[in-house]
Amino acid sequence: MKLNPLFKMAVMASAVASAVFMHSAAQAQRGASEDRPSTPTPRLADGTVDLGGDGVWSLPWITNFAVRMDGYQEGDLPPMLPWTQAMWEYNKNNNVKYDPEGFCLPPGGPRSMGTPYPAEIIQDGDRIVIIFEGGGHVWREIHMDGRPHPEDPNPTYFGHSTGYWEGDTLIVDTVGFNEKTWIDFGGYMHTDQLHTVERFSRPDKETLHYEAVIDDPGAYSEPWTVSWNIRWSEGQELADYICQENNKFLLDMTDDFGQPFFDKTAGL
């Protein structure tokens, strides 16, 4: 029996849709071994793991980084300092209204790997560049030439990243973050003392395993680690995402007292 492919697609899509929506975390956990075919890790000519190919990484939406901590149980929270906890509660109570991503500002740090638009990892000799569709069409650069971090880095959204391979795992060390981003969508804050150590590996062609240590003594009493799997989408491409072009949410934003968030200006 020949089924209309659109109908088939719709049936399959709706069959899994609610499960996917319920827990993006659960989706991110599913590896190639469970219900999809897996193919061997692709490699470059010199044997290095190929983190790219003809496709994109379909980044999941991680709305609460706590859920991605190892051994997470319902209600667990990162080891927040009191001010971080107070800010998180404030953010939660106003429905994360002031999320910098809502202002079309980039999701610096590990959040860039948990913002649900595709990304590509481009290995270019002594540097690796990750290009993101989401967070507004942004990129980050990882220096692979052995250079140290600057003594006094200029604080930026994505920080200063240096990386090296340890076997088949890419390890990336980043400092020099500014304080204009949140750790995650749910409102965990960080300071410019943030230091991340990320690990990227590709156990099979279809899976990118991502792990990040969040080490910020200005906001957390100890480092904490999050991880998730990211799915490869063969044949797909990145699209434009110019967040700033029609951000109506921002224009209508009100402050905590119900007043327009931005002063209206006339004729500038």
Partner 1 sequence: MKTKLIALAAGILGAIVSLQSAAHHSFAAEFDGNVSVHVTGTVIKVDWTNPHTYIFVEVENDEGDYEEWAFEMGSPNGLMRRGWTRNTLEIGTEVIVTGTRARDGSFKGNVQTVVIADTCQRLFAGTSQRDFDEGSAAKEDCEL
Contact footprint for partner 1 (CB under 8 A): 5-14, 16-18, 20-21, 24, 27, 36-37, 58-61, 94-97, 99, 101-102, 104, 115-118, 133-134, 185, 231, 233-236, 239-243, 245-249, 252
> Min. distance of Cβ 130 from partner 1 in angstroms?
17
Of the pair 72, 117, the CB lying nearest partner 1 is at: 117
- Of 112, 160, 147, 148, the C-alpha closest to 132 is 112
Of the pair 126, 237, the CB lying nearest partner 1 is at: 237
Q: How far apart are CA 130 and CA 242, in angstroms?
A: 17
Strands 160-166 and 138-143: parallel
> Min. distance of Cβ 115 from partner 1 in angstroms?
6
Q: In a 10 Å sphere around its CB, with 0-12 CB exposed, 13-18 middle and 19+ buried, how is residue 222 labelled?
A: exposed
Of the pair 77, 104, the CB lying nearest partner 1 is at: 104
Of the pair 74, 248, the CB lying nearest partner 1 is at: 248
